[in-house]
């Protein structure tokens, strides 16, 4: 006799397939499982088999830690999508763009003189929390996290000696808007985080043509767990410093991962990205239509608004379909928006995490279809309660 199935807290029924209606929904992390159905259809062509005796060495035949074939397909990917210029750029790999971010900040904060003040790291609010968290965790004598780039700009300091590093996230996490650098000047260096600059999330308006740009496999193919990212770097000495950081922290990226990524990106570029970008964009477009419908009934909550722009990839004017809903609680009595959603059994990410007010909460829209459907069910309940109360 079979023992009774032990379901987790959210499911019931003989085979644990019935979702309990009041189960809390996770809309917190940006786990990009919305692309899983695409990869299920590509199960064979995307598979990588590695025999036990393959790829045992630290290095490739050319003596480096980087696969030349992978570098070539990354350049091809940017050229078919049109989201970045790769000519006259060094390509560098990291264990996720998380590692590259640390490498870039390290490289740009190294100054010639040990007596100069620490470089200041800034980003405009709302910003991705990792920039602050990494800087504070590494606690380098060469770097201090300073906070909001606008505050620094408006402080009118006549200080031309402090090295300033601004991280520009475009499209931005959390609000999905295309961002530009706030600061400029001879002592300002910029890191462009383009994790979300793919046709799923945003019109591709121009190819990025910056000094230092970072990309993440997590948001390109959805393989967040493979821990792979890459950077495009113009300046040779910055590239060398980043390379040294990667070598001293991990001696390059896993060769097994590089093989897997090569296999995945070959599937992506095979048809000019047509399949995956259409699938991913259609999925998010439908999700945004559903979400907008739910919130259109609400006066209590509002969503970010971004004007459509011409997309060079889809060759038409299109809406933004960001990875996250950036929700504002409009009523003064709902000061802590995260808690309002938490009470309604929706776990988002608190606006405070992004350096802004508690009246905002971020909801992830790129998780699995089940998670999204569940999120919509719970949101409808919250908005209906509002209707009854009003």
Smallest distance from ligand PMP to CB 51, Å: 28
The 154-183 contact track toward ligand PMP, x by CB under 6 A, reads ---------------x---x----------
If the CB atoms of residues 67 and 218 are measured against ligand PMP, the closer one turns out to be 218
216 is a site residue for ligand PMP (CB under 6 A): yes
If the CB atoms of residues 226 and 298 are measured against ligand PMP, the closer one turns out to be 226
Give dist(CA 21, CA 61) in Å, integer: 56
Give the DSSP letter string of 33-90: GGGHHHHHHTTTTT-----TTSS-SSS-TTSSSS-HHHHHHHHHHHHHHTSB--TT-E
96 is a site residue for ligand PMP (CB under 6 A): yes
249 is a site residue for ligand PMP (CB under 6 A): no
Count residues binding ligand PMP (CB under 6 A).
Answer: 13
Instruction: Give the one residue of 218, 298, 347, 364 binding ligand PMP; rule: CB under 6 A.
Output: 218
Q: Which of 121, 365, 109, 91 is nearest to 229 (CA)?
A: 91
Instruction: Give the one residue of 83, 97, 213, 283 binding ligand PMP; rule: CB under 6 A.
Output: 97
Q: How far is residue 4 from each of residues 9, 11, 20, 110, measured CA to CA in Å? A: 15, 14, 18, 61
> Is residue 351 a contact partner of residue 360, using CB atoms and an 8 Å limit?
yes
Q: How far is CA 347 from the centre of its chain?
A: 19
Instruction: Give the one residue of 12, 28, 42, 98 binding ligand PMP; rule: CB under 6 A.
Output: 98
If the CB atoms of residues 229 and 273 are measured against ligand PMP, the closer one turns out to be 229
347 is a site residue for ligand PMP (CB under 6 A): no
Q: What is the DSSP letter of 228?
A: -
Give dist(CA 190, CA 312) in Å, integer: 25
Instruction: Give the one residue of 126, 199, 222, 229 binding ligand PMP; rule: CB under 6 A.
Output: 229
If the CB atoms of residues 229 and 294 are measured against ligand PMP, the closer one turns out to be 229
202 is a site residue for ligand PMP (CB under 6 A): no
Smallest distance from ligand PMP to CB 215, Å: 8
The two three-digit tokens of residue 339, written as one number: 């808690």
Smallest distance from ligand PMP to CB 244, Å: 20
Instruction: Give the one residue of 38, 65, 128, 230 binding ligand PMP; rule: CB under 6 A.
Output: 128
As to burial, measured by CB atoms within 10 angstroms (0-12 exposed, 13-18 middle, 19+ buried), residue 242 is buried
CA Rg, the chain, in Å? 22
Give dist(CA 151, CA 147) in Å, integer: 8
> Is residue 214 a contact partner of residue 100, using CB atoms and an 8 Å limit?
yes
258 is a site residue for ligand PMP (CB under 6 A): no
Q: Which residues bind ligand PMP (CB under 6 A)?
A: 30, 96-98, 128, 169, 173, 193, 195, 216, 218, 224, 229
């Amino acid at each position: 006799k079979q023992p009774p199935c032990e379901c987790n807290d959210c499911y019931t029924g003989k085979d644990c397939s019935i979702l309990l209606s009041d189960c809390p929904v996770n809309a917190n992390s940006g786990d990009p499982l919305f692309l899983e159905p695409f990869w299920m259809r590509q199960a064979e062509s995307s598979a990588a088999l590695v025999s036990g005796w393959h790829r045992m060495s630290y290095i490739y035949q050319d003596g480096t830690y980087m696969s030349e074939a992978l570098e070539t397909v990354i350049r091809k990917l940017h050229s078919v999508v049109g989201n970045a210029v790769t000519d006259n750029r060094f390509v560098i790999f990291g264990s996720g763009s998380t590692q590259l971010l640390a490498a870039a900040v390290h490289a740009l904060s190294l100054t010639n003189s040990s007596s100069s003040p620490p470089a200041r790291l800034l980003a405009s609010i709302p910003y991705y929390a990792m920039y602050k968290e990494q800087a504070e965790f590494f606690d380098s004598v060469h770097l201090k996290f300073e906070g909001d780039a606008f505050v620094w700009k408006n402080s009118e300091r006549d200080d031309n000696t402090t090295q300033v590093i601004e991280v520009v996230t475009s499209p931005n996490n959390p609000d999905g808007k295309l961002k530009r650098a706030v600061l400029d000047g001879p002592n300002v260096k910029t890191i462009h985080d383009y994790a979300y600059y793919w046709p799923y999330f945003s019109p591709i308006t121009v190819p990025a043509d910056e000094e230092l740009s970072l990309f993440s496999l997590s948001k390109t193919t959805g393989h967040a767990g493979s821990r792979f990212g890459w950077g495009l770097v113009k300046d040779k000495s910055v590239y060398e410093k980043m390379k040294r950081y990667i070598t001293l922290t991990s001696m390059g990226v896993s060769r097994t991962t590089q093989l897997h990524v090569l296999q995945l990106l070959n599937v992506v570029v095979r048809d000019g990205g047509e399949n995956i970008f259409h699938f991913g964009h259609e999925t998010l477009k439908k999700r945004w239509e559903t979400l907008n419908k739910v919130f259109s009934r609400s006066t209590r909550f509002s969503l970010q608004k971004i004007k459509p722009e011409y997309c060079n990839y889809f060759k038409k004017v299109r809406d933004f379909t960001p990875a996250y809903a950036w929700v504002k609680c409009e009523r003064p009595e709902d000061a802590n928006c995260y808690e309002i959603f938490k009470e309604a059994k929706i776990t988002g990410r608190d606006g405070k995490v992004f350096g802004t007010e508690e009246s905002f909460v971020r909801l992830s829209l790129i998780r699995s279809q089940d998670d999204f459907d569940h999120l919509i069910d719970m949101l409808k309940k919250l908005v209906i309660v509002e209707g009854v109360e009003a």
